[in-house]
Amino acid sequence: MSSQPVLVADSVAKSFGPVQVLFGVDFNIIPGEVHALVGENGAGKSTLMKILAGYQPPSAGSIRVDGEPVHLSGSGPAEALGIVLIHQEFNLAEHLTVEENISLGREIRRGLFLDKPAMRNRARAALAELNCAVDPDARIRDLSVSERQMVEIAKAVSRSVRVLIMDEPTAVLTGAETEVLFRLIRRLTAQGVGVVYISHKLDEVKAIADRITVLRDGRRIGTHPAELLGHDDIAQLMVGRPMSDLFPTKQPPAPDAPVVLAVEGLSVPGWVRDASFQLRRGEILGFAGLVGAGRTELMEGLMGLRHRSAGTLRRDGQPLRVRTVADAAKAGIAYLTEDRKGKGLLVGKGLRPNLTLLALDRYGRVFIDERKEATALDRAIEEFDIRVKSPDALVGSLSGGNQQKLLLAKTMQVAPQILIVDEPTRGIDIGTKQQIYRFLHDLARRGTSIIVISSEMPEIIGLSHRVVVMRSGAVTGTLSGEDITEAEIVRYATGLKGMKGIPHDPVLHA
Amino acid sequence: MTQSSMPELARKPSAGFDLKLWGPFLALAGLIVLGTLVNPVFLSPANLANVLTRTAFTGIIAVGATFVITTGGIDLSVGSLAAFTAGVMIVVMNALVGPMGAGMGAGWPVVLVGMLAAVGLGLVAGLVNGLLVTKGRIEAFIVTLGTMGIFRSLVTYLADGGTLSLNSGMRAVYRPVYYGGLFGIPTPVLVFAAVALIGAVILYRTRFGRYCAAIGSNDEVARYSAIDVDRVRLLAFVLQGLCVAIAVILYVPRLGSASATTGVLWELEAIAAVIIGGTMLKGGHGRIWGTVVGAVMLTLIDNILNLTGAISVYLNGAIQGAIIIVAVLLQRGTASKR
Amino acid sequence: MTQSSMPELARKPSAGFDLKLWGPFLALAGLIVLGTLVNPVFLSPANLANVLTRTAFTGIIAVGATFVITTGGIDLSVGSLAAFTAGVMIVVMNALVGPMGAGMGAGWPVVLVGMLAAVGLGLVAGLVNGLLVTKGRIEAFIVTLGTMGIFRSLVTYLADGGTLSLNSGMRAVYRPVYYGGLFGIPTPVLVFAAVALIGAVILYRTRFGRYCAAIGSNDEVARYSAIDVDRVRLLAFVLQGLCVAIAVILYVPRLGSASATTGVLWELEAIAAVIIGGTMLKGGHGRIWGTVVGAVMLTLIDNILNLTGAISVYLNGAIQGAIIIVAVLLQRGTASKR
Amino acid sequence: GWAQQKIKMGVSIPAATHGWAGGLNWHAQQAKAKLEKQYPNLEVVLVTARDVGRQANDLEDLVSVRNIDALVILPFESAPMTDPVRAVKQAGKFVTVVDRGLTDPSIQDLYVAGNNPEMGKVSAQFMKQKLGGKGDIVVLRGIPTVIDNQRVDAFQEEIKGTQIKVLGMQYANWNRDDGYKVMQDFLSRFPKIDAVWAQDDDIALGVIEAVKQAGREKEMFILGGAGMKDMIKRVMDKDPLVPADVLYPPAMIAEAMEITAKHLVEKAPIKKEYIIEATLVTPENASKYYYPDSPF
Ligand SMILES: Nc1ncnc2c1ncn2[C@@H]1O[C@H](COP(=O)(O)OP(=O)(O)OP(=O)(O)O)[C@@H](O)[C@H]1O
Ligand SMILES: Nc1ncnc2c1ncn2[C@@H]1O[C@H](COP(=O)(O)OP(=O)(O)OP(=O)(O)O)[C@@H](O)[C@H]1O
Ligand SMILES: [Mg+2]
Ligand SMILES: [Mg+2]
């Protein structure tokens, strides 16, 4: 790792209108290294990367490639130089197929015409490298977020790349997929590719990075060799204060706490088969599984967001009919989606309408009380630490983590008794994560029952009183107390334990 | 259709002068200047009253269209529905005039029944369109293309291919609804203003209005936010039907008749008014006041062309088209240069 | 974690019979059955040839419209452009017939020049629409609403309000282009098939086609993928202009005339064909063969109505509308039940 | 100045949205040019409208901002335009109504018109005579309006009691393309057709092409209407397919404008009504009605 940097940012600054978000940041990437970039939500990581990859021009400062100053007038020229960015937010055309997205802008042609078999093969190869079994002919809008993320990665690595910038690639991936991704990254760096890796999962950063740069409030705090920084050091550099324990001590409900929700034999055609579980008052119930285990689909089926073919719900022992989200909301159940851009937030609208959309009936019967909304927004900004330069900003201009906080705030507007959160800390920095864990913990202590779906094993383990493990659309086991360990969860999630001879295709009967 | 899904900037509505927001109003001001230059009579109160009164029909319909388009739909059937509703209204009133008499005393009840018939029909038609779109899961474009043909046909059938004319006694009673006014302001203008105001309140200040915009900008997000997407879509079509009925109630006393040619191309005019006003055809963002300005602009262009005799009559359409493009070009152009 | 434990995720979109995909074709089959029931003459080769030949004009235009709509645009000006192009073509040919003569020998060069003029005009008009949309950043709806008025006006002006008729000598030369054929298949049908085929190849097998869908689906993503969004949009409009020109080249020899009424409402028909065929009005997904079927369906409905005397002529429009809705309802209905 | 003393005559007609209306527009413009040259202190304000509502708007504008002294109007439709024209009259303007009579004839000062029922009747009489009172015919109508109804009703009234049978009747919207399409389908549907009443020359031209394409020229004849130059020419040339035409000249607008202008400027006395008869054009008299320069 002695060679010259391929890509250098020289005191880059960036302003959006009157708001400055980057202040003279220096950054460079050396071939064959993994350079991690960490920082709080809204620190400017994504913005810096977009500038490096040509998506946005810097307001000041310069970019150099191989020592030569360049003016990247778009992502095209950057890609031509081998600089490829995997976006934090999905950057796929929904109506197009996986293959079409992977090939977009780089189609293989034979003569005038597209060479579809060649492109399909290329797509399949790229996906296979990621152990991802998505059909190249599937349309993006039919994929789950984790699958989309894999497609996004496949799209990036199938280009000829010298610098690969990954903006929170693992936010929606489970440990297994992350392993696969890391193998891929190591292979790429061995070939001399420089990798920039942005993540809020500091264990990952420790595991993969050679150097770590910390960004705070648009300024570079420092760049250090990874081996010199411990987990806590990074956290402290990021948030500017020492970090205490991430997870509060668990306080499980009494064993005889009433069952507030009982799900019996719920099936979602094509996704989930015969799932049953119970949720107690004040309990945090974790859901673990690999990508594609069907956890999201189970919850969406429960909420009336997907068609159910079988299954009964009981709320406080009474049969409950949930055909729409509104029914669920009436029963005090709220769901936070994993797909914040596609299903969670209106990116073209402001914070206020987004915050109150789910609970608008609480803001006036006929006319909306905008003052009350504004107050609620102020409170949410405060409570969830949403970093926004102006309350009139459009949601699309918020940093990813801050969008996630807003989404959480939105879900909490209905003050649910049962809260289902799907990847709740996706893209959230470690400082805020701690706040959110504390928040969930306190909520449960005050009697709210919480279901947490998460791909982050520590999160599941650190938060849950009990853990339900799913695999291929079926519940394979439920763990509690001391049994909640990574090894045990993985055993159930991969089919080594739980059900005998899991059929590979159990749920596709519609 | 060039707006990007990723906003470039955090836009502050209050920061300075938002040209995107004010564009339609500027374009309107430009047209008024043009009109005055062409012929000073343009600014006479009588002419302005005429122009605004005329705008009322398509303007009121366009207010309804703003809702449908904001939810991401489209309604091509409004012109035909207007004709059909006018036809039914006339038939109803003519039929009642026998038993109830057309004298000044008995006239008003008949008119009221006619109005109720119009409103009822408008609501039912909107419901049909809405149900086909939501329950039938057919594109609004196709549904309303179909009902456009159906309504048009029905009025032709009703009129036996000719014209349905309101009983002359009834006309005398009904006339003031179009030709009368309050404090010198013609009734249609007052009604138009009221409809626009109510429309603005609904769109900007009620849950329903919010939901319309939410559905138009991302119906999945709306669904996940416990919004009954189908019901809101349905209601938007019903509202559109109601607006058509109101427009017809003002229209019938003007010409006192309905035929197969009544309201032809009103749908195009209404949609054009909505889009010129800054509402996005793809949905998600509606602007009632923009729509009002758009509707007025379209009438003004006609009026200005009538004020000058300089141009070959054959080229009227070309001038109209050019003015529309230039007006929108100017507002967009200045807006993007910020 | 072992790799072998990954569940088999691969979902095949092609699993089984895709009714969404085949819907338009089923609806077409239904119409054909209906036609045969109404009048057995329906299936006669002469009638089928008539129907297909008639479909050619709007069908070819609709192929172009498929591209524009797939990119998320819309073109309302095609009907007017067709009329204007026909007018210019006739004027050009009539003007040349003097110097070049209309004899059988000299006739073809004149026709060729006329065709070139049509193609040139179509391309330029498409370019104008496209530039206003891309560089002017005006909604396609407004741009083409404007040019619709402009082109219509220009042909009226050219024809002095009346009808432009092709020199009768020239007509004799040119006639075979419409009335002739190969192996018993009328030329327009052959050309239509060729245009559709080429359209399908472009949409499905070229980069340009893919880019159209990508832009319609999400123009920001397209831009991020280094696609020149403006250029693709522009090209789609130019392609639309070319299709209009081809349609006009087939249309002029039919009646040898052009007037202000030529091509009225063709835009609506073309867009309807596209949408019935399964292309999404909001863009992102285009289907050429669906468009062809949609166009044929629309002509068939007319034809079937003309072949039966059972219905009051006043109600033709209603039946048409109802058939359109039912046809689409059936295909959507069956599709969603999967 | 002298401009103030100009006499203004407003002319409101439907826009050139079909052939006959195109002819109307042309004749109106010719007349405008001619009259303004003939009477230097006359200004003719010509406005065209594409629907009833707009024509009503035009009348308002003519009175309120153009300040006309007289109005010549060819109403888009009779009943709906009655009140707007009445308003013009009440504003003290001289009113000439052309072609389509108002429902209240007392409004007009002058009426210049073709005769729609007469046109249907004359057409039927010719059919009866030419077919010998017996045969199968098809009818292509215009667009659903009162005029169209008047023509068709009178036609059907006249053939009542004969052995002429109307096999089929469809709207062809006064449009060549629709005439062509509808006729194609009639030809598929009916193996034997003795005559076609196309009612309008634009439709007739489409019908002719369809008949020719089917190779059935020998079987039938076609009767159009209006007096389009192409059709008059065919009659003149004794085209067996087009044995006659029934006149309904768009030039009536010019006549109305001339009479009105003459009255305005020279205060010439006028008759209250000028009815232009629906003359049957035959090879014998065709040359009288042939205007090769007209676009119609
Ligand atoms: N297009 C934009 N318009 C206005 N402000 C923007 C825009 N894009 C980003 N910002 C602002 O810039 C700041 C930095 O955002 P950025 O997305 O770079 O943060 P980040 O470090 O990636 O955070 P996260 O960890 O949450 O992804 C934020 O305050 C954000 O609101
Ligand atoms: N038996 C099965 N056969 C085929 N595909 C299956 C089967 N079971 C599940 N799947 C796949 O499961 C996936 C379910 O989506 P999803 O990835 O959202 O599940 P999840 O448990 O929520 O995982 P995550 O939230 O980590 O993404 C789909 O991609 C679907 O193809
Ligand atoms: Mg970020
Ligand atoms: Mg999930």
Model ipTM? 0.87
Residues of D engaging C, defined by a Cβ cutoff of 8 Å: 15-19, 21-26, 29, 141, 144, 167-171, 174-177, 180-182, 184-186, 188-189, 202, 205-206, 209, 213-214, 230, 294-296
Q: Give just the sign of the alpha carbon dihedral A123, A128, A129, A130.
A: positive
pLDDT(B11) > 90: no
Q: Average pLDDT of B219-243?
A: 95
Is A509 a domain residue? no
What is the pLDDT confidence band of residue A253, given thresholds at 50, 70 and 90?
A: confident
Nearest CA distance, C58 vs chain D (angstrom): 13
pLDDT confidence of residue C331 = 67
CB contact under 8 A, D61 and B159: no
Q: Across the interface, which of B72, B143, B153 has its CB nearest the CB of C315?
A: B153
In sequence order, which ranges of A351-485 are alpha helices (DSSP H)?
Answer: 351-356, 370-383, 400-412, 430-445, 457-463
Last residue of a domain, one of A415, A445, A468: A415
pLDDT level of residue B8 (50, 70, 90 thresholds) = very low
Residue C319 reports pLDDT greater than 70: yes
What is the structure's pLDDT at B1? 36
Atom of ligand 1 at shortest range from CA of A56? 1
In a domain, A2, yes or no: no
> Which residues from A are below 8 Å from C200, CB to CB?
none
Is A1 inside any structural domain?
A: no
Centre of ligand 3 to C-alpha A149, Å, is 15
| Residue-averaged pLDDT of chain B | 85
Residues A429 and A326 in one domain: yes
CA distance B88 to B101: 19
Cβ–Cβ gap A353/B206 under 8 Å: no
Confidence of residue D1 (pLDDT cuts 50, 70, 90): very low
Cα angle for residues A15, A19, A23 (degrees, 5° grid):
50
The residue count of chain B comes to: 338
> What ligand 2 atom has the least distance to the C-alpha of A504?
1
Report the pLDDT value the prediction gives residue C170, as an integer from 0 to 100: 85
Q: Is any ligand 2 atom within 6 A of the Cβ of residue A289?
A: yes
* Averaged confidence pLDDT in chain C: 85
pTM, entire model:
0.89
| Total number of domains in chain A | 3
> Hey, which residues 201-220 in chain C have their CB within 8 Å of chain B?
218-220
Cα(A412) to centroid of ligand 1, in Å?
24
Amino acid type, A419: L
Given a contact cutoff of 8 angstroms between Cβ atoms, the answer to whether A91 and A341 are in contact is no
- 3-state SS of A118-154? HHHHHHHHHHHHCCCCCCCCCEHHHCCHHHHHHHHHH
Nearest CA to ligand 1 atom 9: A397
What are the strands, taking DSSP E only, across chain B? 163-165, 181-182, 185-186, 257-259
Q: At D83, phi and psi to the nearest 5?
A: -65, -45
- Tell me which ligand sits closest to the C-alpha of residue A390: 1
Which among C266, C248, C240, C243 has a CA at the least distance from the CA of C111?
C248
Which of residues A194, A219, A239 is at a domain's end? A239
Number of H helices, E strands in chain C: 14, 4
Return the residue matching tokens 């927004």.
A377
pLDDT tens sequence across B147-191: 999 999 999 999 888 888 888 888 888 888 888 888 888 999 999
Instruction: With respect to residue A507, please indicate whether it lies within any of the assigned structural domains.
Output: no
Q: Is the CB of A402 under 6 A from ligand 2?
A: no
Higher pLDDT, A497 or D88: D88
Closest CA to A446 of A256, A283, A334: A283
Q: Which two tokens stand for residue C129?
A: 């629409």
pLDDT of B77 above 90: yes
Count the Cβ atoms, other than its own, within 10 Å of residue B87.
27
C285 has a pLDDT exceeding 50: yes
- HSE-up (13 A, CA, CB side) for residue A163: 26
The string of DSSP codes covering C195-261 is HHHHHHHHHHHSHHHHHHHHHHH-HHHHHHTT--HHHHHHHHHHHHHHHHHHHHHHHHHHHSEEETT
C-alpha A167 to ligand 1 mean position (Å): 12
Give the residue from D114, D183, D121, D111 showing the smallest Cα distance to D156: D121
- Closest Cα to atom 29 of ligand 1: A42
**CA A398 – ligand 1 centroid, Å:** 5
Å between A63 CA and nearest CA of chain C: 19
At residue B10, the pLDDT reads 36
pLDDT at A39 over 80: yes
Q: Which two tokens stand for residue A239?
A: 């948030």
Same domain, A168 and A216: yes
CB-based burial, A15-33: b 16+ in 10 Å, e otherwise: ebeeeebbbebebbbbbbb
Mutational test site, ligand 1, from A23, A37, A41, A46, max ligand atoms within 8 Å of CB? A46
Q: Is residue A508 part of a domain?
A: no
User: Can you give the residue range of the structural domain that contains A460?
Assistant: 245-332+417-502
Dihedral (CA of C49, C54, C60, C65) sign: negative
Task: Give the model's pLDDT for residue B103.
Answer: 53
d(CA B95, CA B93): 5
For CA atoms A394, A395, A396, A402, the dihedral sign is: positive
Q: Are residues A379 and A397 in the same domain?
A: yes
B91-131 pLDDT, tens digit per residue, is 999 988 866 555 555 678 889 999 999 999 999 999 999 99
Q: Which string of b and e fits D133-148 if b means at least 16 CB within 10 Å?
A: eebbbbbbbbbbbbbb
Report the CATH number that the domain containing residue A31 is assigned in CATH.
3.40.50.300
Residue to substitute from A104, A181, A183, interface C, most C β-carbons within 10 A: A104
User: What are the pLDDT digits (tens) for D224-277?
Assistant: 888 888 888 889 888 888 999 988 888 888 889 998 998 888 887 788 888 888
In whole angstroms, give the CA distance from residue D249 to residue D112.
Answer: 12
User: Looking at residues A326-346, what average pLDDT do you find?
Assistant: 91
The residue out of A398, A415, A432 marking a domain boundary is: A415
Identify the bridge partners of residue A214 per DSSP, sorted by sequence position: A38, A222
* Spatial distance between the Cα atoms of A368 and B202, rounded to a whole number of angstroms: 10
pLDDT at C334 over 60: no
Is any ligand 1 atom within 6 A of the Cβ of residue A42? yes
Q: Is residue A317 part of a domain?
A: yes
Nearest to B206 among A342, A353, A367 (CB): A367
C160 lines ligand 2 (CB under 6 A): no
Phi, psi (deg, nearest 5) at residue D241: -70, -30
Nearest ligand by distance to the CA of A143: 2
- pLDDT score at C240: 97
Average pLDDT over residues B226-254: 95
- Whether A29 and A104 map to the same domain: the answer is yes
pLDDT, tens digit, 9 for 90 and up, residues B197-225: 999 999 999 999 999 999 999 999 999 99
Q: Which range, of A288-292, A448-452, D211-215, averages the lowest pLDDT?
A: A288-292
Residue by residue, DSSP assigns A303-318 as: TTSS--SEEEEEETTE
Residue of B43, B156, B163, B170 best to disrupt the D interface, most CBs of D under 10 A:
B163
Check: CB of residue A46 under 8 Å from CB of residue A88: yes
Residue nearest to atom 3 of ligand 1 (CA): B9
The pLDDT value given to residue A280: 92
Least Cα separation, residue B335 to chain D (angstroms): 33
Nearest residue of C to residue D180, measured between CA atoms: C255
- B226·A394 Cβ contact <8 A: no
pLDDT of residue D61: 84
Pick the closest to residue A181 from A404, A455, A474 (CA basis): A455
* A262 and A122 within one domain: no
The long-range contacts involving C106-113, CB below 8 angstroms and separated by at least 24 positions, are C107/C169, C107/C170, C107/C172, C107/C173, C107/C174, C108/C173, C110/C170, C110/C173, C111/C170, C111/C173, C111/C174, C111/C177
CB distance D176–C255 less than 8 Å? yes
The span from the CA of D18 to the CA of C311, in Å, is 27
Q: Residue C336: what pLDDT?
A: 43
How far from A388 is each of A220, A344, D126, D136, CA to CA, in Å? 20, 18, 85, 81
CA distance B27 to chain C (A): 14
Contact A75 C225 (CB under 8 A): yes
User: CA A30 → CA A6, A191, A329, A380, D58, distances in Å?
Assistant: 6, 12, 51, 41, 75
- For the record, the structure tokens of A135 come out as 């059909």
Q: Do B138 and C219 touch (CB under 8 A)?
A: no
Is residue D245 a contact partner of residue D295, using CB atoms and an 8 Å limit? no
Q: What order do you get walking across the sheet with A272-280 strand by strand?
A: A272-280, A259-268, A310-315, A318-320
Residue type, A436: I
Cα C240 to middle of ligand 1, angstroms: 41
pLDDT average, residue stretch A381-396? 86
Tell me whether residues B13 and A368 touch, CB distance under 8 A: no
Is the C-beta atom of C7 inside 6 A of ligand 2?
Answer: yes
Residues A274 and A132 in one domain: no
Q: Which ligand is nearest to the CA of A19?
A: 1
Chain D residue with minimal CA distance to B50? D60
Q: How confident is the model at residue B234 (pLDDT cuts 50, 70, 90)?
A: very high
Both A460 and A385 in one domain: the answer is no
Tell me whether residue A473 is in a domain: yes
- The answer to whether residue B94 neighbours chain D at the CB level (below 8 Å) is no
| pLDDT given at position D83 | 85
Ligand 2 binding pocket includes A178 (Cβ within 6 Å): no
Q: What confidence score (pLDDT) does residue D105 get?
A: 84
Judgement on whether residues A255 and A286 belong to the same structural domain of the protein: yes
Give percent above pLDDT 90 in chain D.
19
Regarding whether A294 and A359 lie in a shared domain, the answer is: no
A264 and A382, same structural domain? no
Closest CA relative to residue A234, chosen from A210, A194, A208, A203: A203
Check contact C-D (3+ Cβ pairs < 8 Å).
Answer: yes
pLDDT at residue B18, as a whole number = 56
Answer whether B259 sits within 8 Å of D56, measured CB to CB.
Answer: no
User: Could you count the other beta carbons within 10 Å of the beta carbon of residue B8?
Assistant: 12
The pLDDT of residue B180 is 84
- Of residues B70 and B181, the one with the higher pLDDT is B70
Chains contacting B with at least 3 CB pairs below 8 Å? Answer: A, C, D
Contact by Cβ (8 Å): C309, C291: no
Per-residue pLDDT tens digits for A63-104: 998 888 888 877 778 888 889 998 887 788 988 999 999 988
Ligand 1 atom at minimal distance to the Cα of residue A399: 17
Q: Does C73 touch chain B (CB under 8 A)?
A: yes
Establish whether residue A47 lines the binding site of ligand 1, counting it when its CB lies within 6 angstroms of any ligand atom.
Answer: yes
The answer, yes or no, to whether any atom of ligand 2 lies below 6 A from the CB of A421, is: no
CB B192 within 8 A of CB B52: yes
**Atom of ligand 2 lying closest to residue A287 CA:** 21
Query: Do A261 and A405 fall into the same domain?
Result: no
Euclidean distance between CA atoms D206 and D196, whole angstroms: 12
The residues with which A233 forms a beta bridge, in sequence order, are none
Predicted confidence (pLDDT) at residue B272 exceeds the cutoff of 80: yes
Contact predicate A67/A12, CB 8 Å = no
Taking phi first (over 0 means left), then psi (-120 to 50 degrees means alpha), and beta for anything else, what does residue C73 get?
beta
**C-alpha atoms less than 13 angstroms from C-alpha of D2 in its C-beta half-sphere:** 4
Chains D and A touch (3+ CB pairs under 8 A): no
Closest CB to C6: pick one of A95, A131, A139: A131
Residue of chain A whose Cα is closest to the Cα of B6: A396
User: Residues A116, A65: one domain?
Assistant: yes
* Element housing B155 (H / E): helix B140-158
Q: Between C145, C276, C312, which is nearest B324 by CB?
A: C145
